[in-house]
Amino acid sequence: MNIVNQLQRQFLDYSTSLHREGFVDEQFTQLQKLQDENSPDFVVEVVSLFFEDCEKLINNMASALEQTQGVDFKQVDASVHQLKGSSSSIGAMRVRNACIAFRSFCEAQNRDGCLRCLQQVTHEYSLLKNKLQTLFRLEQQIIAAGGSIPGAD
Amino acid sequence: MEAAGEVLRSGSSQELHVLAVDDSYVDRKVIEKLLKISSCKVTAVESGARALQFLGLDGEKGALGFNGLKVNLIMTDYSMPGMTGYELLKKIKRSSAFREIPVVIMSSENILTRIDSCLEEGAEEFLVKPVKLSDVRRLMKDCIMRGETEVKEGRRVDKRKLEDDNRTSSLSSSSSTPSSSPSPPSSPPFGFDVATSELISSPPHSSKRAKLRDSD
């Protein structure tokens, strides 16, 4: 098996595992299908935007939860809601699920619960970031080796 | 679908021009791609205020009509800071210049009362996020069907006054969608605005475009 085929197989296996382990869902596949020769980096671009969003929102949540004078749970919830939305839009299923749990603690105005959720969300975000970076690296390797990404087109 | 698209008149262009409104950068990027892949021209803005600005409805500009390219469809997120998609919808539907533009609401939350109020205010459809390509394709078809109906009947369709104007509806409804869109659209005679009790009445003698108040 030549190098391109090897890489392609690796890519497919990795992709499958991401889905199986719930890191991404059908919406992510949808995004991959939208990528075309007019926007060959579409997925990477959207995912990068998402990661930027994540970092910003996680910071917002952290500072809001740190307020010793009293936590503005509405503010925290607003950030969680936004994160839930964008994770849903790119198919980041585990991040999204973590947000759903988070929101109920916001509603209950439970600071400790929120802090735990924040940890969880942060954890899921960094896991996903790692996974997707690996996936994108595989794609780049395939293209560098002269092959095409399986499933595209 | 391409052939049907050519029937559409969008000024000189044959493409639908969609104004997308969403405060999330990620969502704007996704919806933009979905629309472009569906052969639409897209203008994506981050807020209701910006959308009104683009349409020339912010009261700053004169009654110039459309800001450049005619907008054929507005797709807006529901939950946005400042002006919600619902508020934007109301402003558009209460504007004599733009009320005929179909407005689609997108929301991550599938709340029945929310859906109802949006449809009542004249939203074309309520899409639950994440929006998929199949949603966009269906919308395009609906817009085209609508466009053909308008062209055939020679008049505008206005879905807002369904209950009141059912008696005048001799229009064939755009029965293409089995979805949440209400059917028979009808046009108020002579553009007269039939205000339902909960609505503010539109400004009298609006030969000019109504100057809308910004809720910001």
Q: Is A23 exposed, middle or buried (0-12, 13-18, 19+ CB in 10 A)?
A: buried
Whether residue A45 and residue B29 make contact (CB cut-off 8 A), yes or no, is yes
What is the pLDDT averaged over residues A12-30?
96
Short-list B59, B93, B60, CA closest to B74: B93
Of A34, A39, A46, Cβ closest to residue B26 = A46
Provide the pLDDT confidence category of residue A152 given band limits of 50, 70 and 90.
Answer: low
Structure tokens at A30: 């949808």
Q: How far apart are CA A78 and CA B54, in angstroms?
A: 27
Touching check for B3 and chain A: CB below 8 Å? no
Report whether pLDDT(A9) > 70. Answer: yes
Residues 10-49 of B with CB under 8 A from A: 24-27, 29-30, 33-34, 36-37
Of A34, A45, A86, Cβ closest to residue B37 = A34
Short-list B69, B151, B76, CA closest to B121: B76
Whether residue A49 and residue B25 make contact (CB cut-off 8 A), yes or no, is yes
Average of per-residue pLDDT values in chain A: 94
Of B24, B37, B79, Cβ closest to residue A86 = B24
Report whether pLDDT(A44) > 90. Answer: yes
| Residue whose pair of structure tokens reads 């400004």 in the numeric block | B203
Which pLDDT belongs to residue B197?
38
Residue of B nearest to A33 (CA): B133
Map out the domains of chain B as residue ranges. Answer: 12-146
Which pLDDT belongs to residue B201?
42
Which pLDDT belongs to residue B199?
40
Instruction: Output the tens digit of pLDDT for each of chain B's 216 residues.
Output: 444 444 444 444 568 899 999 999 999 999 999 999 999 999 999 999 999 999 987 765 543 444 557 899 999 999 999 999 999 999 999 998 899 999 999 999 999 999 999 999 999 999 999 999 999 999 988 877 776 666 666 544 444 444 444 544 444 444 444 444 444 444 444 433 343 333 444 444 433 333 333 343
Whether residue A46 and residue B129 make contact (CB cut-off 8 A), yes or no, is no
Is the domain defined by B12-146 classed in CATH 3.40.50.2300?
yes
3-state class (DSSP) for residue B19: strand
Which pLDDT belongs to residue B12?
44
Contacts of B36 in chain A (CB under 8 A): 38
ipTM of this model? 0.92
Of A42, A53, A88, Cβ closest to residue B130 = A88
- What pTM, to 2 d.p., does this model score? 0.76
Contacts of B165 (CB under 8 A, 6+ apart): B186, B187, B188, B194
Touching check for A72 and chain B: CB below 8 Å? no
Contacts of B135 (CB under 8 A, 6+ apart): B127
Q: How far is A48 from chain B (nearest CA, A)?
A: 9
Which pLDDT belongs to residue A38?
87
